[in-house]
Amino acid sequence: MEINLPKGTHDVILDEARAYDRIETVFKAAADLYGFNEMRTPVIEHTELFVRSVGDSSDIVRKEMYTFKDKGDRSITLRPELTAGIMRSIVNNKLYATQDLPLKAYYVGPAFRYERPQLGRYRQFNQFGVEAVGVTSPYSDAEVIMLGFNALKMLGFEDITLKINTLGDEASRNNYRVALKEYFAHHLEGMCEDCKVRYEVNPLRILDCKVPEDQKIVEGAPKMSNYLSPEAKDRFDAILALLDAFSVPYEIDENLVRGLDYYSHVVFEYHYTTKKGVNVGAMGAGGHYDNLISDLGGPALSGVGFACGIERVYALLKDDELLVDTKETTDFYVMPMGEEALQDGFMVGAALRAAGYRTEVCLENKNFKTMFKRAERKGSRFAIIIGDDEIKTETVTMKNMATQEQFKVAYGDLIAKADELFDLEDEEHHHHHEE
């Protein structure tokens, strides 16, 4: 009997795997432009890490974590996001003391949340993200917001919507919470069960409620902007001014509060709607944090970061036909006609690979038509045919798959010919670029 995937998981295979690889490569290149270095942390962490950072009022910690006891009776959790592990590593390794600040790290890898699977929502998904830790300047916030925006542009997205808001400092938030509690106290009766819990643990979360009736009530709620301290307002305005100066378009969304407890000051999300009208929710999201490092036992350093969901980015690029270079390609496909020819074909293949050419040799005894089809499916630039005549004369017949042009090459001249062919092609490409 076949065994199926666990609910909410998916295989990444074939063209999709190539697309994922390219998406990650572009994200890494963007992060590299800004001086970020990679960090790789474990998929499993102590449960306590997420309780302390993501926070016990968040949906993630309250109901979405994959938590289990290991054989040593320790509570272990599959990471629901990657920021917490990065912060733990910075503290454990005292990177703040040995490296220049800001610490700039990027990461990519799987995260796990026990959510209801739906469009763009999986139980195992992949995130790419960055964190800049240790500078308080609003320039750092602006830099990270622009990095995410530019990375998404490099991937091919135009018309990205950047939603942005500020949660202010702790004093601003405390005042605002009091005002929200006062307001929602009169409406709580008719609101969803989740909101009743949110009211008790963190009333800011109610602003994020997706239930339509509750949203109407949220519309009448007090606005954060009226509760900001002058410093918090200045900080937000400074970031917006930088975005204006670099023509990064944004929409202020006062109900944007994010689902993780560690944020303060600026929070943001990147959205995109495809030409067919598909919107999978935020492609990426992030914000500024003040207490994350100190809550994990490190010094009082603030930071800023975002995470993008690779699955969502892929789905949107695909829907708008913005995926490039996902078809398989190879340089040479070697077609030996018969058992004896395979011996020579195997040698030819080895020699081409040793010279750096991507080469596949057909190892089965197939007829010409079948092998030619395979060469096409492989995206081969040239086919190399070896039959009885070729063995006798120690030459191969080479066929340009695009032009169908055929020519003979002596065994001894193969690599020189390959170099010539690919130099020529590169030059042609070059001319196209220059035109």
Is residue 105 within 8 Å of 131, Cβ to Cβ? yes
**Cβ proximity to ligand AMP, 117 vs 299, nearer residue:** 117
- The distance of closest approach from Cβ of residue 3 to ligand AMP in the complex, given in angstroms and rounded to an integer, is 23
Nearer to ligand AMP among residue 209 and residue 282 (C-beta): 282
- Minimum distance, C-beta of residue 311 to ligand AMP, in the bound complex (Å): 5
Residue number, 286 or 349, with CB nearest to ligand AMP: 286
Helix 138-154 with 14-33: angle, nearest 10 deg: 150
| 316/375 with CB nearer ligand AMP | 316
| Side chain identity at residue 429, one-letter code | H
Q: How far is the CB of 379 from ligand AMP (least distance, A)?
A: 30
DSSP for 102-136, written as a single string: SEEEEEEEEEE-----BTTB-SEEEEEEEEEES--
Residue nearest to ligand AMP (CB): 309
CB 81 within 8 A of CB 111: yes
Residue (292 or 414) nearer to ligand AMP, CB? 292
Residue count (the chain): 435
The contact set with ligand AMP (CB under 6 A) reads 81, 113, 115, 120-122, 125, 127, 259, 282-285, 307-309, 311-312
C-alpha distances in Å from residue 416, one per residue of 16, 339, 423: 35, 27, 10
Q: Which helix (H) or strand (E) holds 84?
A: helix 83-92
The nearest distance, CB 59 to ligand AMP, in angstroms, is 9
Reading the block at residue 85, the tokens are 């592990």
**In the complex, what is the shortest distance from the CB of residue 193 to ligand AMP, in angstroms, rounded to a whole number?**
21
Nearest approach, Cβ of residue 199 and ligand AMP (Å): 22
Q: By C-beta, is 281 or 379 nearer to ligand AMP?
A: 281
Helices (H) and strands (E) in the chain, counts: 16, 16
Q: How far is CA 74 from CA 48, 61, 216, 273, in A?
A: 10, 17, 44, 43
